[in-house]
Structure 1
Amino acid sequence: MTKPATTSERVINAQPLAEHRLSDKTLIIFDWDGTLMDSIGLIVDSMHVAGEAHGFETTDKAVKDIIGLSLMNGIKILYPQANDTQLLEIQQTYAEYYIANSHSTPLFEPIEHMLQTLQQQGKTLAVATGKKRKGLDRVLDASDSHDYFAITRCADESGSKPDPQMLTDILDYTQQQVSDAVFIGDSIYDIQMATALGMTSIAVNYGTATSAELAAQNPTYQVDTPQALVDLLCG
């Protein structure tokens, strides 16, 4: 009798078409928060602290739903009643709290080994994130991850997701085609961004969005855990 797959072994919605074969992809592009780094909890806490400091409240689910967007775009969605001055104050309070507590956001346990393995296989690695450049550089330094990535692009350089400009910039820089690349992310905006270019996508269920929310975006692949992502990309 065949042993049933464990959660970490399960891949959902895999489409083994020739144009989607991951072994043929030479450019692997990752979202950061909730995909490579276990930072969702800190993002949610930071937004609650920032909003409440200026008289506004929201829910955990609402905060998770804006992760992936640029910070200011997300704040505007969460607190539409805030004026321009209040929006800037919320952004500043958020940044101060997040920076002060960012030591508590490690990479997911199997991720660094995955990055090393993909490099050894000759893959070009990149990041496309809703973070600002200053924020991404800070966490790249803290996790000693700079050297894994040929290029990283941020929302304040290329526009907020789901605008695909970040992916276009990465393709231009690496001189690779859409068909050479795969994008991995945990939010609906990530999958929408890849879909806008017709790029192969992997949705990860362990970040911001639920499995059902991600499935509704029709990613090429969908996985439950960081280990399942490692197995899919490196197997």
Structure 2
Amino acid sequence: MADRFDLLIFDWDGTLADSTALITRSIQLAFADVGLAVPSRQQASYVIGYGLNEAMRFLAPDATAAQVAQIVDAYKTHYLARDGEIALFDGVAEALAHYRSAGYQMAVATGKSRRGLDRVLEQTGMGAFFETTRCADECHSKPHPQMLEEITELLGVAPQRSVMIGDTTHDLQMALNAGTPALGVAYGAHPKADLAALQPLGLFDTFAELDGWLREHG
């Protein structure tokens, strides 16, 4: 059993799965389909981690409810056409197996929908590693602390004995709001400087660096 943490809570997109580019491009194509101004890559990357409706409303604050629904539908079409191509970052499967054998509990807190997360967990075969998962369509969207609060309560682990691991400021702010330590990864959606400003316990440029830290300090 780990000395510092009992529970590892992972974001999915951009943290375990190399999906940032597809999500960003799918957002841009969806806006083009609906005939609205296409967000920049930086703008589209910023909303990764939000629930879909929250993300599109953020990017198009003046859009009608009908337009937001159209954007969401178009995004799903573009994303689902290629989501089978998404790979886990190198070393993820082996690392999760190690953490399980080392005695950690593990969970996922993601901006994906329940249907979307279940789909990728089945595609990757990673579902068996996680005791529980929380998604944006069954909880408040990040950075609200509900996902982390429900996970830690369900698994009976104190927030201070849990750690949230993610690639966006939304992940790290959610951890702060929940009183949970956090680790940031700078190979996903948000710039390293923005992640550093939220003062995570560690900030890593590759999954291998994160894995090394967890094995030594977790």
Q: Which amino acid aligns with 2:25?
A: D
1:40 matched residue in structure 2: 20
1:225 matched residue in structure 2: 206
1:82 matched residue in structure 2: 63
Q: CA deviation at 1:223?
A: 1.0
1:204 aligns with 2:185: yes
1:73 matched residue in structure 2: 54
1:129 aligns with 2:123: no
1:15 matched residue in structure 2: none
Q: Which amino acid aligns with 2:111?
A: G
- Structure 1: gaps (5+ residues): 1-21
1:189 matched residue in structure 2: 170
Q: CA deviation at 1:218?
A: 1.2
Q: Which amino acid aligns with 1:55?
A: G
Q: Which amino acid aligns with 1:216?
A: A
Q: Structure 2: how far apart are the matches of 1:150 and 1:192? A: 23
Q: Structure 2: how far apart are the matches of 1:27 and 1:165? A: 16
Q: Structure 2: how far apart are the matches of 1:196 and 1:159? A: 13
TM-score w.r.t. length of structure 2: 0.96
Q: Structure 2: how far apart are the matches of 1:162 and 1:44? A: 19
1:125 match: secondary structure? strand
1:146 matched residue in structure 2: 127
Q: Structure 1: how far apart are the matches of 2:23 and 2:45? A: 8
1:114 matched residue in structure 2: 95
* Structure with higher RCO (Cα < 8 A, 6+ apart): 1
User: Contact (CA 8 Å) 1:76, 1:87: kept in 2 or not?
Assistant: yes
Q: Structure 2: how far apart are the matches of 1:159 and 1:51? A: 24
Q: CA deviation at 1:193?
A: 0.5
1:49 aligns with 2:29: yes
Identity %: 37
Q: CA deviation at 1:197?
A: 2.1
2:148 matched residue in structure 1: 167
Q: Which amino acid aligns with 2:133?
A: T
Q: CA deviation at 1:179?
A: 1.6
Q: Structure 1: how far apart are the matches of 2:178 and 2:66? A: 36
1:26 matched residue in structure 2: 6
Aligned structure 1 segments of 4 or more residues deviating by more than 4 angstroms: none
Q: Structure 1: how far apart are the matches of 2:3 and 2:50? A: 30
- Structure 2: gaps (5+ residues): none
Which entry has the higher C-alpha Rg, 1 or 2? 1
Q: Which amino acid aligns with 1:218?
A: Q
TM-score w.r.t. length of structure 1: 0.89
1:19 matched residue in structure 2: none
